[in-house]
A and B are shown apart, each in its own frame.
Chain A
Amino acid sequence: MLKDITLGQFFPGDTIAHRLDPRTKLLLVTLYIVALFQAKGWLSYGIITVVTLSCMRISHISLKNIFKGLKPMIFIISLTALLNIFYTQGTPIIPGWIITWEGIARAIQMVLRIVLLITGTFLLTYTTSPIALTDGLEILLGPLKKLKLPIHEMTIMMSMALRFIPTLIEETDKIMSAQKARGADFETGNLIDRAKALLPVLVPLFVSAFRRADELAIAMESRCYHGGEGRTRMKQLVMAGRDYIALLLGILLLAAMIYLKKLGI
Chain B
Amino acid sequence: MSIIKFEKVHFTYPGDQMESLCGVDLEIEKGSFVAVLGHNGSGKSTLAKHMNGILAPTEGRVLVEGIDSSDESRLIELRRKVGMVFQNPDNQIVANVVEDDVAFAPENLGVEPGEIRRRVDEALKLVDMYDKRRHAPHLLSGGQKQRVAIAGVIAMEPDIIVLDEPTAMLDPLGREEVISTVTRLCREKGMTVVLITHHMDECVGADRLIVMSGGSIAADGRPAEVFADIELMEREGLTVPETTRLLYDLKKRGMDLPLTALDVESCAKEIVKQLRG
Contacts and interface: CB of A to CB of B under 8 A. Distances in A.
A263 B86 CA distance: 63
Contacts of A12: 97, 134-136
A94 interface: no
A131 B138 contact: no
Contacts of A232: 106-107, 110-113, 116
19 contacts: A12-B136, A131-B96, A163-B94, A166-B136, A167-B138, A212-B88, A212-B90, A215-B92, A218-B86, A219-B84, A219-B86, A221-B54, A223-B79, A224-B80, A226-B76, A231-B110, A232-B110, A233-B107, A234-B99
Given A170-B138, A232-B116, A224 B92 contact: no
A32 to B, nearest CB: 23
B106 A234 contact: yes
Interface string B90-110: 111111110110011111111
Most chain-B CB neighbours within 10 Å: which of A10, A166, A167, A222?
A222
Contacts, number: 105
Q: What DSSP secondary structure best describes chain A's contact surface? A: helix
A241 interface: no
B117 interface: yes
A170 B91 CA distance: 14
A183 interface: no
A159 interface: yes
B154 to A, nearest CB: 11
Given A163-B95, A215-B91, A222 B116 contact: no
Interface of A: 10, 12, 129-131, 159-160, 162-163, 166-167, 170, 212, 215-216, 218-226, 230-236
B147 to A, nearest CB: 15
Nearest to B113: A236
Contacts of A131: 95-97, 100
Most chain-A CB neighbours within 10 Å: which of B91, B104, B109, B120?
B91
Interface of B: 52, 54, 76, 79-80, 83-84, 86, 88, 90-97, 99-100, 103-113, 116-117, 120, 134-136, 138, 152-153, 156
A12 B98 CA distance: 12
Contacts of A162: 96
Contact of B108 (A215, A226, A235): A226
Given A231-B107, A232-B107, A232-B110, A220 B100 contact: no
Nearest to A217: B91
Contacts of A221: 54, 79
Nearest to A230: B110
Contacts of A235: 100, 103, 113
Contacts of B136: 10, 12, 166
Most chain-A CB neighbours within 10 Å: which of B76, B79, B90, B110?
B90
Given A215-B91, A224-B79, A233-B116, 15 more contacts: A10-B96, A159-B94, A159-B95, A163-B93, A166-B138, A212-B88, A212-B91, A219-B84, A223-B83, A223-B153, A231-B110, A233-B103, A234-B99, A234-B100, A234-B106
